[in-house]
Amino acid sequence: MTGNSLYQVFVYDPEGFDAVKKKLNEFNSHKSSSSFVSQLPKLLPMWVKHIGKLFVLNSSPGVSQTIHDSLTTETLRGVAVPNIFKLHDNPSLVRKIELLLRDEPSGLLGIELKPLDVLFKNHEMKEEFDQSLKHLMQLWELNFK
């Protein structure tokens, strides 16, 4: 399975998560305030316990770096970090990244593990492995539906 995508993980403790929910609720009530919207990328990471790396799934190193640089923002703590929230309410930046990824080869999201069966010399063990893997993949697919 393939596809181009961006993802980043933010880890919050319960207090930080409650603070983020409160700010997002404030955002929903002030949707017309562009100054509030422009502050979201700086505000939301303020309570974060850990900011994960920004992943650009399967792009050339140059494209990946350009996207990383485009999404880097300085937090209220004065630290420059990539922040996927910068895409929020920023159609020109979203379009720029869409154009960068449009011509890139699709990213690898899944893989067929056929080469592993050469490890099994015993035919019964190979069949048992294949059956177990098949069941795991079916469960995995059900979790994504």
Together in a domain, 95 and 121:
no
44: which 2 tokens?
């939301």
Q: What is the pLDDT of residue 69?
A: 92
Band (112; pLDDT cuts 50, 70, 90): low
Residues 121, 65 share a domain: no
The tens digit of pLDDT for each residue in 29-63 reads: 766 555 666 666 666 667 788 888 888 876 677 88
Predicted confidence at residue 1, as pLDDT, reads: 44
CB atoms within 10 A of CB 69: 9
Amino acid at 4: N
128: domain range?
Answer: 114-143
Is the pLDDT higher at 30 or at 123?
A: 123
Average pLDDT over residues 99-109: 68
Tokens of 42: 């700086």
109, part of any domain: no
**Is 0.75 topped by the overall pTM?**
no
